[in-house]
Amino acid sequence: MEPGPFDVVVVDDAADVRAVVGLQLRLSRRFNVVGEGGSGAEAIALAAAHRPAAMVLDASMPDMDGLEALPAILEVSPSTQVVMFSGFGGPALEVAARSLGAADFVEKATPLRELPGRLLRVLQAAPEPAPAAGDGVEETPVEGETVLAQHLERFRTVFDQAAIGMATMTLAGTVVRVNPALAGLAGEDEGALVGRRYSDLTGTAPDAALHEALVRVAGGGVELAEVEHALPIRGSTAWVRSTVTVVRDPDGRPLYLFAQAEDVTVQRRTLDELRASEERFRLMIESVVDYAIFMLDPGGRITTWNTGAERMKGYRADEAIGQHFRLFYPAEAQELRHPEHELDVAVREGRYEEEGWRIRKDGTRFWANVVITALFDHDRRLVGFGKVTRDVTERRRAENARQGAAAELADAIERLRTANEQTSDFLAIIAHELYSPIAAMTGAADILAEHWEQLAEGQRVENLQNLTRSAGRTRRLLDELLMASRLEAGQLEVTIETVPLGPIIAEAVAGLGLAVDVVGADGVVVSADRSRVVQILTNLLANADRYGEPPFTVEVRSVGAAAEIRVCDAGAGITPELEPQLFRKFVRGAGRRDRGTGLGLFIVRELSRRQGGDAWYERGPGVRTCFCFRLPRAA
């Protein structure tokens, strides 16, 4: 007699994954799904309430991840067999999960039809049996599984072969996967790093700044944080720049943290050596260049003169002594009585120092460092001033050159940092955006193919709709990536022709089925690519429908030789902090219901520019949010 059915709890922060997993287990007729949850805290509560025979537990979830929750689950329900169900793979993570008490470790890439058999084998504590009817096991994968496996393999290949260190973490900062580059940087095996807090990798004590950055990113305070920290390696210290970001689901909820670590030891050493070299150069210049040292009477007239002053300023002693020292100042400084002001400050404060232009006897200018010291006798009566002048013209030129070089270096570093951020964003977005719909499609397709007769009509419809939605989401992602790639490479062709704007707007509105008020479009003719303009309008109208509030309007204005088109709604709009980044690649607004790839507005702007226009965001009169673009009007 077959044992069961067994009570089981499914915990995963993705509702569609919970639904597919739960249905697969029910259809096996070997399990009763007695509870579902979306966080580690809910998993603990469900374990205490139901004491199920088994629990399917996601590794990374908001607030408390599966690895953190696992010991507490087993404490409240020791008999529950917990199967870790994770989108993260790798033997190191499996070892960490099993060491915490997991009975099995199943990657989400595993076909869902195999999950009931895996659970039964855990519960029965028997050797792995051969596939049998009713276990839902097949040897031949369906096409969707092959595609998913290929996508996962490509992502893992990029992750593992990247030259820069990378790590994925739970929201609590627990390392679940590292690539060989990071393991090599840390000087440890990959398995030794998995299961540890990322902020603990910096040595004997956690790095406070790195820990704070992880907390701020996971908590939604910032989308990205960058910290430079020490990393002890086999008796020496390396310097690492860790860039941490959060990967979110389509509803804007954080899924896991992603970090990349770059060894900047050489750069820091180079900068330190550069500063030391500059300091040695400055000391050398100051020791070689002569000083002009002379004295003034209380009225500012020269009373002594040295050889250095003669060589620097060009006056002999008999030409300088008795003259007022304003002789060495440009005419504009003399008119402002700046020399007299310097003496007043020196009397009041004891000394005066500045750098400025001075004039030689031949009329040429030099940049001088000037120190004036007030001299008092024993009765505190002013007896004169000591004045020391250095010709620092060459130093000033060197500083200007150094500042220019520093600006170029800073610009190069910023370009490199931006490229690294985009690479990190690209990997995280592709991994998440491709994996979720493909996982949902694979699960729904398996259920339909294997249990069509067992499914109620509503369940069939629900799974077919799930397939359609997920396929559409995948197709939109690939279309956006291809379009962005072509635009950035300058390979997208546009065909400019004279077209009336009204029918184009009507076509875009009809394709979305929205109620839209169109104002000012009659009679406006533009020089543009009709299909690309439809694409721009469709993108902006879809955004208004998805993120904004009705009423929706499309307003057309003729401004000079251009037509300006505004797509407006009554929604809350964009936060001021996000506005400067709106049209950049991979920029996505926090808190949106569907975050997407962050490429839509980038495509809108680039398509507008390819047609001789531009795109921008503005807040209209009253409570209105408007995304606008401009096209040339036909002559």
Least confident interval from 188-202, 438-452, 616-630: 188-202
Has residue 142 got a pLDDT over 50? no
pLDDT at 419: 54
Question: What's the rounded Cα separation, in Å, for the pair 395 and 439?
Answer: 65
pLDDT at 155: 53
pLDDT at 134: 40
pLDDT at 297: 94
Residue 607's nearest CA partner among 471, 499, 486 is 486
Pairing of strands 236-248, 254-263: antiparallel
- The arithmetic mean of pLDDT across residues 229-243, rounded, is 77
Q: Which residue has the higher pLDDT, 411 or 512?
A: 512
pLDDT tier, 264 (very low <50, low <70, confident <90, very high otherwise): confident
Has residue 471 got a pLDDT over 90? no
Question: What's the rounded Cα separation, in Å, for the pair 580 and 583?
Answer: 8
Q: What are phi and psi of 530, to 5 degrees?
A: -55, -50
User: Which pLDDT tens digit goes with each residue over 61-99?
Assistant: 767 778 888 999 999 999 999 998 887 767 777 888 888
Q: What are phi and psi of 360, to 5 degrees?
A: -85, 170
- The arithmetic mean of pLDDT across residues 606-623, rounded, is 88
414-489 is a CATH 1.10.3720.10 domain = no
- The arithmetic mean of pLDDT across residues 178-205, rounded, is 74
pLDDT at 588: 62
Has residue 137 got a pLDDT over 50? no
β-sheet with 81-86: strand ranges across: 31-37, 6-11, 54-58, 81-86, 104-107
- Indicate if 290-391 has the same CATH topology as 156-269: yes
pLDDT at 430: 57
For the CA atoms of 96, 100, 102, 108, the dihedral, rounded to the nearest 10 degrees, stands at -40
Judge contact between 426 and 590, C-beta under 8 A.
no
Question: Which residues, at least 6 apart from 416, have a Cβ–Cβ distance to it below 8 Å?
Answer: none
Residue 385's nearest CA partner among 357, 427, 343, 333 is 343
6-140 is a CATH 3.40.50.2300 domain = yes
For domain 290-391, which architecture applies? Answer: 2-Layer Sandwich (3.30)
Has residue 615 got a pLDDT over 90? yes
Question: What's the rounded Cα separation, in Å, for the pair 50 and 11?
Answer: 13
Has residue 308 got a pLDDT over 60? yes
Q: Which range among 100-104, 406-410, 438-442 has the greatest average pLDDT? A: 100-104
Judge contact between 12 and 86, C-beta under 8 A.
no
Question: What's the rounded Cα separation, in Å, for the pair 490 and 575?
Answer: 31
For the segment(s) 156-269, the CATH number from 3.40.50.2300, 3.30.365.10, 3.30.450.20, 2.160.10.10 is 3.30.450.20
Residue 90's nearest CA partner among 182, 191, 181 is 191
Judge contact between 177 and 97, C-beta under 8 A.
no
Least confident interval from 31-45, 153-167, 217-231, 472-486: 472-486
User: Which pLDDT tens digit goes with each residue over 520-546?
Assistant: 999 999 999 999 999 999 999 998 998
pLDDT at 431: 54
pLDDT tier, 39 (very low <50, low <70, confident <90, very high otherwise): confident
Domain boundaries, the chain: 6-140, 156-269, 290-391, 414-489, 497-632
- The arithmetic mean of pLDDT across residues 348-357, rounded, is 93
Q: How far is CA 171 from CA 64, 181, 187, 224, 294, in A?
A: 7, 22, 25, 14, 69
Is the dihedral angle over the CA atoms 599, 600, 603, 605 positive or is it negative?
A: negative
Q: Which residue has the higher pLDDT, 604 or 595?
A: 604
pLDDT at 149: 47
How many CB atoms neighbour CB 339 within 10 A? 18
Has residue 33 got a pLDDT over 90? yes
User: Which pLDDT tens digit goes with each residue over 456-468?
Assistant: 888 888 888 877 7
Judge contact between 156 and 434, C-beta under 8 A.
no
Amino acid letter for position 68: E
Helical H segments across 164-236, by residue range: 180-186, 190-193, 208-218
Question: What's the rounded Cα separation, in Å, for the pair 460 and 467?
Answer: 11
pLDDT at 58: 87
Has residue 570 got a pLDDT over 80? yes
Q: Which residue has the higher pLDDT, 195 or 549?
A: 549
- Look up tokens 């169109």; give the residue: 518
Omega cis (within 30) before 298: no
Bridge partners, 567 (sequence order): 554, 627
Query: What secondary structure letter does DSSP report for 580?
Result: G
pLDDT at 51: 95
Q: How far is CA 393 from CA 179, 228, 288, 305, 421, in A?
A: 52, 37, 14, 22, 42
Q: Which residue has the higher pLDDT, 204 or 61?
A: 61
Q: What percent of the chain has pLDDT over 90?
A: 35
Has residue 418 got a pLDDT over 70? no
pLDDT at 130: 38
pLDDT at 31: 93
pLDDT at 135: 44
Q: How far is CA 469 from CA 85, 440, 465, 538, 571, in A?
A: 24, 9, 6, 18, 25
pLDDT at 433: 56
- The arithmetic mean of pLDDT across residues 333-351, rounded, is 93
**Interior CA angle at 245 toward 239 and 601, to 5°?**
130
pLDDT at 426: 53
Residue 578 DSSP SS3: coil
pLDDT at 234: 65
pLDDT at 388: 93
pLDDT at 131: 40
Q: Which residue has the higher pLDDT, 541 or 262?
A: 541
pLDDT at 250: 64
CATH number given to 497-632: 3.30.565.10
Helical H segments across 350-456, by residue range: 393-451
Average pLDDT, the chain: 81
- Look up tokens 């030259």; give the residue: 163
- The arithmetic mean of pLDDT across residues 254-268, rounded, is 80
pLDDT at 235: 67
- The arithmetic mean of pLDDT across residues 600-609, rounded, is 91
pLDDT tier, 476 (very low <50, low <70, confident <90, very high otherwise): low
pLDDT at 143: 45
pLDDT at 376: 93
pLDDT at 37: 92
DSSP per-residue string spanning 540-555: HHHHHHHHS-SPEEEE
3-state secondary structure 106-152: EECCCCHHHHHHHHHHHHHCCCCCCCCCCCCCCCCCCHHHHHHHHHH
Judge contact between 120 and 131, C-beta under 8 A.
no
Has residue 591 got a pLDDT over 80? no
Residue 43's nearest CA partner among 23, 16, 67, 19 is 67
Question: What's the rounded Cα separation, in Å, for the pair 422 and 428?
Answer: 10
As to burial, measured by CB atoms within 10 angstroms (0-12 exposed, 13-18 middle, 19+ buried), residue 364 is exposed
pLDDT at 228: 82
